């Protein structure tokens, strides 16, 4: 998706380099990446992203470099089985992929994408699937006019989900660093002055000195957002939990042992929505380090957000990847 590769595109543009985008706009079978998956290939040979998870990227790189060298933008069809020898087994994901190869957009489209991603604003990014492969943006993802034959690919850039961490602790800092790669907005809340000024939390996160219940009451949380309490201080955590359960956050969790959680439940008895509280926070990974604990907590956030159990894949029969929200639409031309 554009969000995954856009920092690379912006860095290369700032350095004066041309960038070609290879975007997955159609597929006739199963695949490892959703529609909208994008590779960005710069003229210095470096690249980021993928359209298939690895099996056709070499083919796509050659085609993208041809566009960098002056070939016309186009929609091309690639297949994981294209370069197999006759005796080699065809992979299960051997369907044909339609990949759009075109240069990254010029301003003002590029500036609009950069601004929307930085400010967490909704933006619909459209590109034609027929020459001249024009880019455009709007603040709504309504389908394009019916007269264009559907030959437009639309990706909706949505505001990131918010992860609220209560307690500016070393664990919060570790979770925050990991959450950056998950494209989540991280807000760390703590009323204690010495904690919020520790400098441990990445500067890309918001660190707010505030009582968490007051901040939550003044900031609308959505079903895709999560609140995790980490202080081990009931005076702080309990206020946060009550406010989060009353609000719209889809996932509310609290760090602590089973004994600590049992005490917490007794203190919070009668709180509306208490059955939604997840405690102890995290999945059963058995880790002991800060990083392992952070991974466990974030894994639960992701699983709950995708309505999954968090079990081992070998033990379940559900589709491996959750259904991607309907943020990409359009039809490829072949």
Query: What are the tens digits of pLDDT across the range 106-136?
Result: 999 999 999 999 999 999 999 999 999 999 9
Q: Tell me the average pLDDT across 187-215.
A: 95
Domain enclosing residue 118, as ranges: 2-84+94-159
Tell me: do 287 and 222 sit in the same domain.
Answer: yes
Tell me: do 154 and 166 sit in the same domain.
Answer: no
Q: For tokens 């201080």, what's the residue? A: 233
Q: Tell me the average pLDDT across 304-321.
A: 85
**Following CA atoms 143, 144, 149, 155 in sequence, which dihedral angle do they give, to the nearest 10 degrees?**
-70
Q: For tokens 């890309």, what's the residue? A: 204
Tell me: do 218 and 104 sit in the same domain.
Answer: no
Q: How does the average pLDDT of the chain come out, rounded? A: 88
In the chain, the percentage of residues whose pLDDT exceeds 90 is 75
Tell me: do 305 and 202 sit in the same domain.
Answer: yes
Tell me: do 207 and 270 sit in the same domain.
Answer: yes
> Residue 223 corresponds to which tokens in the numbers above?
């079903």
Q: What CATH number has the domain bearing residue 220?
A: 3.40.50.720
Q: Tell me the average pLDDT across 33-51.
A: 94
Tell me: do 113 and 245 sit in the same domain.
Answer: no
* Rounded-to-5 percentages of helix, strand, coil across the chain: 30, 20, 45
pLDDT tens column, 240-260? 999 999 999 999 999 999 999
Tell me: do 35 and 72 sit in the same domain.
Answer: yes
Residue 330 clears pLDDT 60, i.e. is over it: no
177 near 152, Cβ under 8 Å? no
116 near 123, Cβ under 8 Å? yes
Residue finishing a domain among 109, 127, 159: 159
Residue finishing a domain among 116, 134, 159: 159
Tell me: do 217 and 239 sit in the same domain.
Answer: yes
Number of domains, the chain: 2
**Following CA atoms 284, 290, 292, 293 in sequence, which dihedral angle do they give, to the nearest 10 degrees?**
20
Residue 191 clears pLDDT 90, i.e. is over it: yes
Tell me: do 247 and 292 sit in the same domain.
Answer: yes
Q: Tell me the three state secondary structure of residue 30.
A: coil
The sign one gets for the Cα dihedral 180, 182, 185, 186 is negative
């Amino acid at each position: 998706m554009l969000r995954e590769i856009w920092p690379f595109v912006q860095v290369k543009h700032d350095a004066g380099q041309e960038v070609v985008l290879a975007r997955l706009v159609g597929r006739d079978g199963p695949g490892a990446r959703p529609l909208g998956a994008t590779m960005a290939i710069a003229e210095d040979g470096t690249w980021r992203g993928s359209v298939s998870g690895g099996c056709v990227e070499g083919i796509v790189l050659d085609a993208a470099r041809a566009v960098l060298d002056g070939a016309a933008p186009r929609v091309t069809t690639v297949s994981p089985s294209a370069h197999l020898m006759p005796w080699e087994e065809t992979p299960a994901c051997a369907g044909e992929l339609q990949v759009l190869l075109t240069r990254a957009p010029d301003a003002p489209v590029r500036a609009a994408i950069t601004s929307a991603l930085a400010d967490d604003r909704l933006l619909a990014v459209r590109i034609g699937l027929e020459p001249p492969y024009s880019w455009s943006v709007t603040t709504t993802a309504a389908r394009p006019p019916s007269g264009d034959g559907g030959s437009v690919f639309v990706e909706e850039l949505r505001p990131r989900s918010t992860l609220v961490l209560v307690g500016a602790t070393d664990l919060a800092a570790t979770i925050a660093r990991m959450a950056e790669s998950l494209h989540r907005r991280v807000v760390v809340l703590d009323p204690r002055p010495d904690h919020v000024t520790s400098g441990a939390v990445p500067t890309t996160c918001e660190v707010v000195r505030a009582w968490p219940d007051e901040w939550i009451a003044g900031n609308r949380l959505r079903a895709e957002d999560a609140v995790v309490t980490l202080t081990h201080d009931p005076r702080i955590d309990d206020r946060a939990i009550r406010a989060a359960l009353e609000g719209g956050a889809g996932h509310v969790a609290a760090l602590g042992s089973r004994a600590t959680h049992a005490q917490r439940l007794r203190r919070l008895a009668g709180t509306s929505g208490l059955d939604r509280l997840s405690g102890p926070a995290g999945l059963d990974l058995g880790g002991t380090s800060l990083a392992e604990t952070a991974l466990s907590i974030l894994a639960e956030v992701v699983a709950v957000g995708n309505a999954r159990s968090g079990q081992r894949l070998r033990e379940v029969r559900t589709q491996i990847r959750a259904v991607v929200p309907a943020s990409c639409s359009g039809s490829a031309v072949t």
